[in-house]
Amino acid sequence: MSLIQAEGLYAGYGGVDILRGVHLHVEADEIVVIVGPNGAGKSTAMKALFGLVPIRAGTVTYLGENITNRPPERMVTRGVAYVPQEANIFPSLSVLENLELGAYAVPGDLTPRLEKVFALFPRLKERRRQQAGVMSGGERQMVAMGRALMVDPHLLMLDEPTAGLSPRLIDETIQRIQEINQLGIGVLMVEQNARQALAVADRGYVLATGENRHEDTGPALLADPEVAEMFLGG
């Protein structure tokens, strides 16, 4: 059974469909990457899955249950966490408060979850009293991912987690994502740095103008000359 599966998704804003029949699925232990040119509908696909953009047609199933158009708070309680590309932290709150709030919908003993996040991102433990808004881009991305991990998700959805980061931080972030995946968390991410992301991905989807164009294992997509030429910048 797939962790999450979308079939024939039509979704968009104000009656205009940005997604036109998109399908995708993520298995429990996978890293799945969505790549594609600007305006392909990558972020919209993520938002539609998470209940942030209304789905007009098609279905989303999570662990076999139909969750089409379910509101975000219900997704969180079922174990799906989503990190938007921008504005993904609470800037005036401390790092620790950001993490605590991440667990708001699934209360209980936070200590083991905090330990888990701090083990992945030791920097956050050092700076837990710091106001999140004044931290560097890389650290903010850690806070954002840490916040999402506080719900103990089965599925982590990341929208361009390396956007705006330096090459060194991109490598580090991708490595962290692999470590998160090794904890048994399925990862679905949209990525502009397609080559690096596909290199670590179990599978990838290429979207263009709201439709599926290619899908294959990460290495196979990287090796595909057509994909390389059209979507990975030659």
Partner 1 sequence: MIELIHLLINGIVLGSILALGAVGATMIFGVLRFAHFAHGDFMAVGAYFALTVVTVFNLPVLAALPVAMLGMAGLAVGIDQLIYRRIRRVQPVILLISSFATALILRSAIQMIWGGSNQVYEVGIQLPWRIGPIAIKPDHVLIVAAAAILVLLVHGFLTRTRMGKAMRAMSDNMDLALITGIPAERVIMWTWAIGGALAAAAGVLLGMDTRLHPTMGWTLLLPIFAATILGGIGRPYGAILGGLVIGCAMELSTLVLPGTYKPAVAFAIMILTLIVRPQGIIKGSV
Task: Give the binding site for partner 1 (CB under 8 A).
Answer: 50, 52, 72-73, 75-77, 82, 84, 87-93, 97, 100-102, 104-107, 147, 151
Minimum distance, C-beta of residue 205 to partner 1, in the bound complex (Å)? 22
- Of 104 and 179, which has the nearer Cβ to partner 1? 104
Please report where in the chains the tokens 């609470």 appear, as a residue: 90
- Of 50 and 205, which has the nearer Cβ to partner 1? 50
Minimum distance, C-beta of residue 151 to partner 1, in the bound complex (Å)? 7
Minimum distance, C-beta of residue 67 to partner 1, in the bound complex (Å)? 14
- Of 21 and 133, which has the nearer Cβ to partner 1? 133
- Of 13 and 182, which has the nearer Cβ to partner 1? 13
Minimum distance, C-beta of residue 81 to partner 1, in the bound complex (Å)? 9
| DSSP assignment of 124-147 | HHHTTTSBGGGS-HHHHHHHHHHH
How many other β-carbons are positioned within 10 Å of the β-carbon of residue 85? 17
Q: Do 137 and 168 form a contact (C-beta atoms < 8 A)?
A: no
- Of 61 and 85, which has the nearer Cβ to partner 1? 85
Minimum distance, C-beta of residue 113 to partner 1, in the bound complex (Å)? 14
Q: Which of 152, 158, 26 is nearest to 78 (CA)?
A: 152
The alpha-helical segments, DSSP class H, found in the chain are: 42-49, 72-78, 95-102, 111-120, 122-126, 137-149, 167-182, 194-200, 218-223, 225-231
| DSSP assignment of 149-189 | HTT--SEEEEESTTTT--HHHHHHHHHHHHHHHHTT-EEEE
